[in-house]
A and B are shown apart, each in its own frame.
Chain A
């Protein structure tokens, strides 16, 4: 069992969740309630990582973040190391491919809130921040929670992008999914088996949790 790899994967998942939570809430609300020009285009772009082959994303990130590009050089001058083959590079990749998993469930959840509820609250003089905290987030939380579960599970399992921009460096970019691949190549079937079983259990728990949250008659929503 490669604990370093498992911890690294958990860290990556946690960091992705923390960064995407506010972004998802903001974008989800915006898309749920605002009409603006090019909204369909924005929604389509946000959904793109769902259908984009991970190696395609990996290739573009490798090109974009490499030392030869303005972005890569800017980052290197700022932090003294390259974005590719680093944890931060993986985080960037993870944020991009998890974007639809964050935004879509939250958008659906915010859409489900009746406009009258918000209007009534605003009419009664509730501030926007208080409205968000006391009305919107409590009503949308199953959607937010299932977004978090999806991001968590998806990050733990991501392979293609990580392989392309990561380089399997222990403690930095060798995630649990890559470690399984490495163990198989090293004829360590036992190690690969233990890690695979661990991921299987975690994935089952995650998907079970997300069904429990969203299923009617599961965890009660605030009606």
Chain B
């Protein structure tokens, strides 16, 4: 009976393994649109495919620690990469690939103005125009953490705390911010620039001096194969850098 069940399990595992051929790469949610474009360009140039999974960097950090079968990790916060490196889960200490920015994103028709100085947000809080406001969960999403810092800098954190809806990652926060259930949110610049998001809302950049820098670091994980290494190198090449630049990222100097 048990042997029979195991045989069945093996049968199904072989069937599913055949699909999982391309290496799986974990990307921070702010890369959702940019990385998909880069992967498409990579496929065009090299005929190799990678499989992308998006989520909050903190969540990936936990999953990689628990043995998730990712080959490469593009974090939105280099701290997670360093912690994984210290735990011996990575090939090396990785490479800085981008510096991110945050924006205030408001859906069309919102009573809130897209004001990067957050003055209108303060006014909306005071006059009751603001019902709900979306950010990513600061506990494990780097962009949520930076949003919290910016709101603290503007002196709004205590007042806005009860009105926050927290996305599981910054992409969900952007979805919340534009779905009509909230009056807006603070999300990644790279998401606000994506056509799918730009269609539904306006944004304004929040000064980057208001929060710690979003130093985004990528790293190859133990067991990374040649295809993954090729993608890692590709991220540093002009084609990928041009795409990243288009999505509003500041890039480290070319080497």
Does residue A171 face the partner (Cβ distance < 8 Å to B)? yes
Set of chain A residues within 8 Å of B209, measured between Cβ atoms? none
* Cα separation A39 to B19 with both chains bound (whole Å): 44
Contact, CB under 8 Å: A11 / B12: yes
Q: Which residue of B24, B32, B66, B175 has the most chain A CB atoms within 10 A of its CB atom? A: B66
| Given A87-B13, A88-B13, A169-B24: A188 touches B66 (CB 8 Å cut-off) | no
Asked whether B175 lies within 8 Å of A184 as measured between CB atoms, the reply is: yes
Q: Is B253 an interface residue (CB 8 A)?
A: no
- Residue B171 is within 8 A (CB to CB) of chain A in the complex: yes
A157, CB-defined interface residue at 8 Å: no
The residue that A8 contacts in the complex, of B16, B29, B55, with Cβ under 8 A, is: B16
Q: Judge whether B51 and A187 touch: CB under 8 Å.
A: no
B183 close to chain A: CB less than 8 A: no
State the Cβ distance, B70 to closest chain A Cβ, in Å. 8
Cβ–Cβ contact B196 & A88, under 8 A = no
Q: Which of A15-23, A109-117, A214-222 lines the interface with chain B?
A: A15-23
How many chain A residues touch B (CB < 8 A): the figure is 31
CB neighbours (8 Å) of A170 from chain B are: 19-20, 24, 51, 53
Q: Is the CB–CB distance between B12 and A168 below 8 Å?
A: no
B8 at the interface (CB under 8 A from A): yes
Q: Does B15 contact A (CB under 8 A)?
A: yes
**A67 contacts chain B at the CB level, 8 A cutoff:** yes
Whether B202 sits at the interface, judged by CB under 8 Å, is no
User: In the complex, A11→B197 CA distance in Å?
Assistant: 34
Q: Which of A19, A88, A171, A184 contacts B19 (CB 8 A)?
A: A171
Tell me, yes or no, whether A4 is within 8 Å of chain B by CB: yes
Interface residues of A in 71-104 (CB under 8 A from B): 79, 81-82, 84-88, 91
A172 to B67, CA, bound (A): 14
Complex A-B: 22 CB contacts under 8 Å: A4-B19, A15-B9, A22-B1, A66-B67, A67-B67, A81-B69, A84-B67, A84-B68, A88-B13, A91-B9, A168-B53, A169-B24, A169-B51, A169-B53, A169-B68, A169-B69, A170-B20, A170-B24, A170-B53, A171-B19, A187-B178, A187-B194
| Known pairs A11-B12, A15-B12, A91-B9 / 6 extra A-B pairs, C-beta < 8 Å | A22-B1, A84-B66, A169-B20, A172-B20, A187-B197, A187-B200
Chain A residues proximal to chain B, CB less than 8 Å: 4, 8, 11, 15, 18-19, 22, 62, 66-67, 79, 81-82, 84-88, 91, 167-172, 182, 184-188
Interface residues of B (CB under 8 A from A): 1, 5, 8-9, 12-13, 15-16, 19-20, 24, 29, 32, 51, 53-55, 63, 66-69, 169, 171-172, 174-175, 178, 194, 196-197, 200
